[in-house]
Amino acid sequence: MKRIAFQFAYPTALAVAVVLLAFMVLASPGFSRAASPEPGMATAGKVSRPDRVEARIKELQTKLKITPAQEELWNNVTQVMRDNAKTMEALIKARSEEASTMTAIDDLKSYGEIAEAHADGIRKFIPAFEPLYASMSDAQKKAADTLFRHHGPTKSKAKAKGK
């Protein structure tokens, strides 16, 4: 019986260790800095968060073909986008500045604050975007649906890779 208990304990412990290791790598300051460049640090091929938000605003306005009648609703959306970017920029900057002195617990808490701020930003964005979306023509809604759809692999991309 001892042998059976050991066989089941080992894979469980291994799975837990793998999950914890993956979480620690993803939550580490080095990984987060690589995934999110330090705000204000425009490097070759990398743009600061506010600059990325402004570029995204321009892209959306062009692709959604915002009309003069929708400008006020659009301005509400862009204000939320800018506010969210400022919040994230401050949290990422603080995390980056404190990275070398953070304990593992501090690092995890900082990562959690960023994740919570991202979720809060989405919760603020939705009520600002809903009235704009409701005012859109069918063509604009179709464009919005495409632009906001998750950017993961599509069936056609997956088929192309598999061939």
Where does 28-137 have alpha helices with state H?
A: 29-35, 49-64, 71-98, 104-135
Question: pLDDT tens across 76-123, in order?
Answer: 999 999 999 999 999 999 998 998 999 999 999 999 999 999 999 999
Q: DSSP assignment, residue 66?
A: -
Q: Is the pTM of this model over 0.75?
A: no
Q: Please write the tens of the pLDDT for every residue from 41-79.
A: 444 456 677 788 999 999 999 999 999 999 999 999 999
Q: How many CB atoms lie within 10 A of CB 83?
A: 15
In angstroms, the Cα distances linking 130 to 18, 37, 133 are 40, 30, 5
* CA distances, 94 to each of 91, 98, 113 (Å): 5, 6, 11
* Residue 112 contacts residue 141 (beta carbons within 8 Å): no
Nearest-angstrom CA–CA distance, 102 and 91: 14
Amino acid at 20: L
